[in-house]
């Protein structure tokens, strides 16, 4: 299992470096997507290493997997065709979803923190 985790981390690292290299001369959306593609797993590792954290911090970080999962195809499409980038989107997701999703994830974390007391 340890070798599998090492292989996955290595592949992610190589993909992240390639993504950053390919977006050097691309649009801001491509650069933000590449930064998110690199940064979210690092944030997740920090959250994992700093356990226990309050759920109002942990839940939004865990929900960040969904846009991270979608950021790869979005980054690929923006790198291939920069016109696919839209000004009201971050990582290919409308800004409204980011706002309301973040608020909802924090509120859900607060609710879980209140309901699941140690």
For 57-93, the pLDDT digits (tens) are: 778 887 877 777 777 787 777 777 777 778 888 887 8
Q: Which residues contact 81 (CB under 8 A, 6 or more apart)?
A: none
| Nearest CA-CA partner of 108 in 54, 67, 66 | 54
Tell me what pLDDT residue 113 has. Answer: 81
- DSSP code for 87: T
Phi first, then psi, for residue 93 (nearest 5°) are -120, 130
- Full-model pTM: 0.67
pLDDT at residue 9 is higher than 80: no
SS3 25: coil
Tell me what pLDDT residue 118 has. Answer: 59
For 16-71, the pLDDT digits (tens) are: 788 778 788 878 878 888 888 788 877 777 777 777 878 777 788 878 777 777 77
């Amino acid at each position: 299992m340890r070798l599998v985790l090492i292989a996955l981390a290595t592949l992610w690292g190589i993909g992240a470096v390639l993504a950053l290299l390919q977006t050097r001369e691309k649009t801001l959306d491509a650069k933000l997507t590449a930064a998110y593609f690199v940064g979210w797993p690092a944030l997740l590792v920090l959250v994992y290493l700093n356990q226990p954290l309050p759920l109002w911090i942990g839940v939004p970080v865990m929900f960040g997997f969904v846009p991270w999962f979608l950021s790869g195809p979005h980054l690929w499409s923006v790198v291939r065709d920069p016109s696919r980038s839209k000004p009201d989107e971050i990582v290919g997701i409308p800004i409204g979803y980011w706002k309301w999703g973040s608020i909802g994830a924090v509120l859900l974390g607060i609710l879980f923190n209140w309901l699941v007391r140690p």
